[in-house]
Structure 1
Amino acid sequence: MTTVDQILFGWAERDHEGNAGVRPVAHSGVRTIDRWAKRLQYVWATQDGQGEQPEETASLVHLVFEDEAAVLRKLPSRNPHGRGGATLTHVLVGDPPAIDARLALGLHDWPGWRDREPDGTGAGLAPLDLEALREAARAGLAALRERVTEVPDEQLTTLLAQVLAEPAAEFSVITRPHLALPTMTALLDIAGPVSGRPWTFASRESTDKGSHQPRVVFLAARPPQSMYINQRRRVDVGEAPPDTDTARFAAQLVELYREAGHAALERIRPAHPLHTADDVGSWRRSVPIVDGRIAEPRVRLDVFLDDDLLDRAVARGVLVSERARFAGELRKQPAEWLMAALRRWRRLEQRAVRRHELRDLLVSEAVEACLAGRTPEMLLQATHEAEPPASVVTDVFFRRLPREGLDLSRAEDWWLLGVALYLGVPAAALDRAGLLAASPAHEVMDLVKEYAERFPEAMRMVLHRLADAGERPDAARLWYDRGLLLGPVDRIAAGDRAKEVDCFRQLLIAAYGSGLGRADAEALVRRAGAHAPLGLYAAALELAADEAAEQPIRYELSEQCLRAEGYASRATGSGPAPRTGAPVPGRPTGPTARPGSAGAGPVSAAPGSYPPYPAATGAGSHPASASATRTHAEWAHPDTPGGAQSHASATSPRAAPHQAGGGVVPDPARWDPPGPPRQPSWSTADPHGGAAPQAPSDDRHRGFGGLGQLDGVSLFFVTALVLVLLCAVGYVLLTSVP
């Protein structure tokens, strides 16, 4: 840790040698304390301003010697012995590179300055941490730069013109005491540091005579005439400077400093320090002047927030050359800054129409910032409302795209795609081979489930990308786990039957490849259920590899057509029953397997299990109906009541980042309110609504009290009973006649 020593000078009574006066009364173990005692033996504070606050009457002094530098704070005070007018001087001592002019100026309001002498002589002081002092000095220097506005332009121009006329001279500046430190700050910012001639100063003095005076001494008033020969140049800032090229250049420098700050001066200042008037002349000729003003080569980003700065930059003609630098700096700005700029540069604002190239640059950089990583949702919304061109979003998206394609199991890739969709990347841009080749199948299916409502056409392209990789391991099971994505496909198709068939075709290719075999077709029919959309079976029929694979699909299609026309006597489920009452081959006979378990995978039926017509069992019921209905309920769309829920989403690596909050993976599906639900268009019954159409009532249940269900023996007894009753009635009638 680099440290800075302390020395405290105060009035000391006569010592054992009979000497009295100002000398060190405490220090932190400075090895050169005797040398400093001689250097500062006549350190006195000016006595004007008695009764003012200490920070107003104190004088800040910066001194540099060959191997040591110091910053002093001189304060008129009353010592413990009651002697009025004594000077208390607190000194910080260190290496010249460490104790420079900017550090000294920044410590003007440092709270560590001593305001009174310690009790008794010889009290010890501790060394100070240099980094802590520098941290305190940054805030103090920034405060002084804000106070430069208190100094009139004419006074600052007068002083700067004298300094530029003779850069190596020493100056005594006559100005009001409270303007001394802001004036010195502006002088240092404009003229810059000089090697071998540091800008030492004293902010409040009553005289400029004596040995080893600072380079700039600020006087509250002109000192009286003296026989002492003084080589210093005295500058009264109240007097106007002469009309010279140097004075006009000084005025231009002051104007640029007011407008663009100290950083602008650092950009145009020559590489070599100013030692002579010729150096100043070369500098003046190297600076471009436009309409009597310095054309500072760099423009602050505040032109996006301040119309006055924008107009000045336009007048100087520097915006075109600065756009390349803006491109790198805009995206580095805080989110609040970008949001404020985007609100000011909306598409129909006048400034955006007149300076559309700046607006395009701002919007492009905002898109870059959003796609770069975690961004507050407020900035995402502001960028979305700025209506970025689709071409800009597409360009930025593909620049950020990994070479191997998106891997949606990584949160950053999910963020990239989700934000690009929210900002308006067109669906056609996703029609790119290999875009999702690195993504697991379950992540792609979860993406389709989540964004099908908000970005239907884009999700259709995602399904094409899923099919690009061909059949993947476990793709069929993952598809079944998600209820065959019946609901998302319905939202994507929105009543377009061709789109519906296309979506299911891509899912079938991903699950089974380009050819659908008989066993896979049978498994699909069992999984899809009795009320699956016709588009699913139409796509399966297209991909059927042979007639054997077509047979179960065509049978299910015929069953659906009969039910739709009212000819089927009951909902027979998916697939015909075997000829006998035996269980369906390959299907568990015990409790139904849970979706996603080993027993829930695709099953195969024995050859010949699909006859031309289904055979009825002895009881007249379809033995596969209950099983098929139960299977359909298990694999129904997850959005429907009782539908199966995907277990993959619970274990997805992005499950946690999808929670609400700043700096998380975005959820474009919930940024805008969803539209009204669409009614299904492919069937008279809603396959996702939970309620299936009721099968027509069995004719055998109709009739007179169910007599149609009596067998032959019962009918014989009933007929005999009726005949007996008729005979009895006839006998009664015959015997009653007289």
Structure 2
Amino acid sequence: MTTVDQILFGWAERDHEGNAGVRPVAHSGVRTIDRWAKRLQYVWATQDGQGEQPEETASLVHLVFDDEAAVLRKLPSRNPHGRGGATLTHVLVGDPLTIDARLALGLHDWPGWRDREPDGTGAGLAPLDLDDLGQAARPGLAALRERVAEVPDEQLTALLAQVLAEPAEDFSVITRPQLALPTMAALLDIAGPVAGRPWTFASRESTDKGSHQPRVVFLTARPPQSMYINQRRRVDVTEPPADSDTARFAAQLVELYRETGHAALERIRPRHPLRDADDVTLWRRSVPVVDGRIADPRVRLDIFLDDDLLRRAAERDVLMSERMDLVGELRRQPEPWLIAALRRWRSTEQRAVRHRELRDLLLAEAVQACLAGQAGDAVVEATRDAEPEPAVVARVFGRQVPEGGLDLSRPGHRRLLIVALALRMPADALDHTDLLAASPADELLDLVERHAGHYPRAMHLVLRHLGDAGQSPAAARRWYERGLLLDQVDRIAGDDRAKEVDCFRLLLLAAHGPRLDRAAAEALVRHAGVRAPLGLYAAALELAADGAAEQPVRHELSEQFLHDHGYLGPGPGTGHGRYPGGPVPGRPTTYPWPAAPYPAAASSMEGSSQPYPSPPRPSLAGTRAPAHTEWAHTEWAHPTAARETGGGVVPDPSRRDTSAPARRPGWGSPGPATSDGPPPPSDDHVGRFAGLGQLDGVSVFFVTALVLVLLCAVGYVLLTSMP
């Protein structure tokens, strides 16, 4: 840990040598305390403005020596003995490479400054952590940069013109004390480093005389004339500079600084620090000027939020040449900034239409941030709403996939896949052999169970990976525990029966391998229950190893067929399944529960990441769904009988076999009447013809005419045969 020492200077009474005055009264064990006592023996605070707040009357000073640097805060105060006019000076001492001007400026409002002298000369101070001081200085420096707006343009230009004319000189600046620190912050940001001369300063002084003065001393008023020879350049910022190329250049720099901030000056500043006026001239000639204004050669990120900056950058024709500088910067922006930019650059916005290349760059960076795990759900949603190109999402997704593929048991891998699908990545991007090879079978089944309704095409490919992985006992157990994923397969297949069979084939391959034996077939039929679609049994027959394996499946199919058409009673069937009543479906097309809404984009492009709850799955012994209309054979049913019975199918009497005449009640030997089979035989042969008496008049007429014709024919034959 790098530390910074502290020294506290205050008024001290006469010591053993008879000396009285300002000297160290406490410190943190500084080894060079005697040296600092000599360097700062005449450190006095200006006495004007007494009675004001300490932060307004204090002077902030930055000094650099060969091997040490210091930040001082000088405050007029009253010592514990009641002596007025004393100066309390709190000093932070450290390495000159770390105690620089920016750190000193940022500490202007540091709460650790001492406002009172210690009660005794023996009081000690502790060293400070340099990192803590640096963190405390950042907001202070940012606040000073914001206060630069309080400094009039002409005053800042007057000071900068003098500095650019003689960059290696020392300056005494006459200005209001409240503007000293903002002015110094702007001067440091614009002018940059000077070779061999670090920027040191004193913010509130009444004189600029003495040894080892800072480079810039801010005076509250012009000091009186004296015989002291002063080589410093005194600048009264209220006096405008002479008209020259350097003054015009200073005005352009001030304008650029106010408009774009300190970062723009760092981009156009020369590589080598300024040494003299010739270096300034070379710098002035190297910067681009458009319409009398310095053009920032770099495209700033704010063009995505500010249409005026976008227009000016387009007018300078630098959008295409400088856009690569934005790569990597956009994704590191705070989430609120990125969300605001994505909302402004949707495909329907005019700016997105005119500057398509910037929109593509923004979306590519946002997709990178989402898939790299650098963005939260709000950014993912904003990126999806901005509609990035699916090919871009697939390309970024491919770069993020580890070399060994995705292991869905790891949260980061699962999120990568789901976020990519939410951003409308094409499902074909999952069609790679080793993409999910490292994922356990139960994780793949869980993925399909959760997201089949949102991304059906992608989940079909996940099932292919599951089938390619081969037989797994864990897969069989998990598949049966999840109800054979009947609802999920139905959503994946839609109305495509070939896809339905393929999905079940892949699941059977994962659960039982390429050959389905009889035991596996019986287990499948037993677990399938009454809701099993025909696609499941079609896939089972395709993978059946032999006739023995096919037998339970075919028996279940025949039982479903008979039950579907009413030839089995409402009680339990005799096969492997149990049917509480009602028709058995082929593949269910409707369900007894309302379907949950799913995004329209899920059927066309795997596009929605909103979690929609799956519909509740009824018990396997519950009410069956209505039969598929494809299996309804109406020519087998008697319409009148169907209406009368209200269900089931009644055979048509006209199609019955009438080889055995119906027995009338009361004929033959008495006994219990049954409806099963023909009546028992009887010895009463007369009864066989008793039915003739039941003929109507028309029938009797035709029978009589037939008998007469036969008689006439017999008579004719007899007559013609006589000699």
The normalised TM-score by structure 2 is: 0.77
Distance 1:142 1:479 in 2: 60
> Following the alignment from structure 1 to structure 2, what is the Cα–Cα distance between the partners of residues 629 and 296?
80
Report the equivalent of 2:201.
201
- State percent identity of aligned pairs: 73
Check whether the contact 1:525–1:553 (CA below 8 A) recurs between aligned residues: yes
Matched AA of 1:671: P
**Structure 2 counterpart of 1:214:** 214
Return the alpha-carbon distance in structure 1 between the equivalents of residues 548 and 252 of structure 2.
91
Q: Distance in 1 between matches of 2:390 and 2:550?
A: 44
How far did residue 216 of structure 1 move? 0.8
2:467 is aligned to 467
User: In the superposition, relative to structure 1, how do residues 673 and 303 fare at CA in structure 2: closer, same or farther (>3 Å)?
Assistant: farther
Cα distance in 2, alignment partners of residues 238 and 159 from structure 1: 10
- Whole-angstrom CA distance in 1 between matches of 2:51 and 2:369: 56
1:342 matched to 2:342? The reply is yes
Contact 2:525 2:576 in 1 (8 A): no
Task: State the SS of the aligned residue for 2:538.
Answer: helix
Report the residue type matching 2:628 in the other structure.
Answer: S
- Mapped partners of 1:344, 1:301: distance in 2: 13
Query: For residue 595 of structure 2, what is the aligned residue in structure 1?
Result: none
1:645 alignment partner in structure 2:
none
What amino acid does structure 1 have at the position aligned with 2:196? G
CA positional deviation for 1:274: 1.2
Q: Structure 1 pair 225/2, CA: closer, same or farther in 2 (3 Å)?
A: same
Unaligned runs of 5+ in 2: 593-606, 618-623, 632-645, 652-664, 666-670, 681-723
One-letter amino acid of the structure 2 residue matched with residue 499 of structure 1: K
Which of residues 600, 620, 628 in structure 2 aligns to 1:683?
A: 628
Q: Distance in 2 between matches of 1:527 and 1:467?
A: 20
- Report the equivalent of 1:282: 282
Within-5 A mapping of 1:179-328: 179-328=179-328
Structure 1's 26 and 560: CA in aligned 2 closer, same or farther, altered over 3 A? Answer: closer
Determine if contact 1:367/1:396 at 8 Å carries over to the other structure: yes
CA deviations on 1:29-70 (whole Å, 9 max, x unpaired) are 444333333333332222222221121111112222223322
Query: Are residue 423 (structure 1) and residue 423 (structure 2) matched?
Result: yes
- Residues 342 and 382 of structure 2 are in contact (CA less than 8 Å); yes or no, is this contact kept in structure 1? yes
Q: Using the alignment, how far apart are the partners of 1:358 and 1:36 within structure 2?
A: 57
Alpha-carbon shift at residue 668 of structure 1 (Å): 6.3
State the alpha-carbon separation in 2 of the partners of residues 128 and 66 from structure 1: 22
Bigger relative contact order, structure 1 or 2, given CA contacts below 8 A and separation 6+? 1
| TM superposition shift of 1:415 | 1.3
Per the TM alignment, residue 132 of structure 1 is displaced from its structure 2 partner at its CA by: 2.9
Question: Relative to structure 1, is the Cα distance of residues 12 and 476 closer, same or farther in structure 2, using a 3 angstrom cutoff?
Answer: closer
Structure 1 residue 181, shift from structure 2 partner: 0.8
Q: Relative to structure 1, is the Cα distance of residues 260 and 430 closer, same or farther in structure 2, using a 3 angstrom cutoff?
A: same
Aligned to 1:583: none
1:371-415 deviation line (CA, Å, top 9, x unaligned): 222743222222222222222222222222233333222222221
Specify whether residues 378 and 28 from structure 1 end up closer, same or farther in structure 2 by C-alpha distance, changes over 3 A only.
Answer: closer
Report the counterpart of residue 405 of structure 1 in structure 2. 405
Q: Cα 1:431–1:188, aligned 2, differ >3 Å: closer, same or farther?
A: same
Structure 1 length as normaliser, TM-score? 0.76
Residue 571 (structure 1) shift: 6.3
Q: Post-superposition shift, 1:15?
A: 4.5
Give SS of 2:329's match.
helix
**Larger displacement relative to structure 2 (305-314 or 168-177):** 305-314
CA distance in 1, matches of 2:609, 2:341: 26
Which residue type is aligned with residue 62 of structure 1? Answer: H
Query: What is the deviation of 1:515?
Result: 4.6
Give, as a single letter, the amino acid of the residue that structure 1 aligns with 2:163. Answer: V
AA of the residue aligned to 1:494: G
Corresponding residue for residue 671 of structure 1: 611
Give the 3-state SS of the residue equivalent to 1:671 in structure 2.
Answer: coil
Number of aligned residue pairs: give it: 624
Cα 1:171–1:420 change in 2 (3 A) is: same
Partner amino acid, structure 1, of 2:234? R
CA distance in 2: counterparts of 1:675 and 1:483, whole angstroms: 13
Q: How much has 1:201 moved relative to structure 2?
A: 1.2
Q: 1:506-538: per-residue Cα shift (whole Å, max 9, x none)? A: 323333444545554444344434552222222
Contact preservation (8 Å) 1:533, 1:683? no
Residue in structure 1 matched with residue 160 of structure 2 by the alignment: 160
User: Which has the higher Rg, Structure 1 or Structure 2?
Assistant: 2
**1:309 partner SS:** helix
Contact 2:63 2:70 in 1 (8 A): yes
Matched, 1:11 2:38: no
Compute the displacement of 1:432 (Å). 3.6
- The amino acid across from 2:55 in the alignment is E
**Structure 1 residues 409 and 15, CA, compared in 2 at 3 Å: closer, same or farther?**
closer
Which digits, 9 at most, give the CA deviation of each residue in 1:688-716, with x for residues without a partner?
xxxxxx996999xxxx9x976899xxx9x
Match in the other structure for 2:702: none
TM-superposed deviation, 1:196:
2.8
Aligned counterparts of 1:681 and 1:395: Cα–Cα separation in 2? 46
Give the deviation of 1:180 after TM superposition.
0.6
What is the rounded CA distance, in whole Å, between the counterparts of 1:529 and 1:326 in structure 2?
A: 60
Query: Structure 2 CA distance, aligned partners of 1:52 and 1:138?
Result: 26
CA contact (8 A) 1:200 1:216 kept: yes
Q: Which amino acid aligns with 2:420?
A: A
Q: Which moved more, 1:225-234 or 1:17-26?
A: 17-26
Structure 1 residue 172, shift from structure 2 partner: 0.8
Q: Is the 8 A contact 2:572 2:578 kept in 1?
A: no
- The offset of 1:240, in angstroms, is 1.8
1:463–1:127 Cα change, 3 Å: closer
SS in 2 for 1:328: coil
- Structure 1 partner of 2:559: 559
Q: For residues 462-481 of structure 1, what are the alpha-carbon distances to aligned partners after superposition, in whole Å with 9 as ceiling and x for unaligned?
A: 22332334444554444333
SS in 2 for 1:115: coil
Inter-CA distance 553–180: structure 2 relative to 1 (3 Å threshold): same
Q: CA deviation at 1:541?
A: 3.0
In the aligned structure 1, how far is the partner of 2:647 from the partner of 2:482? 27
* 1:549–1:127 distance in 2 versus 1, CA, 3 Å: closer
Deviation at 1:217, TM superposition (A): 0.9
Q: Secondary structure at the match of 2:224?
A: coil
Q: Give the C-alpha shift of residue 673 in structure 1.
A: 7.2
Partner of 1:90, secondary structure, is strand
Return the alpha-carbon distance in structure 1 between the equivalents of residues 177 and 59 of structure 2: 9
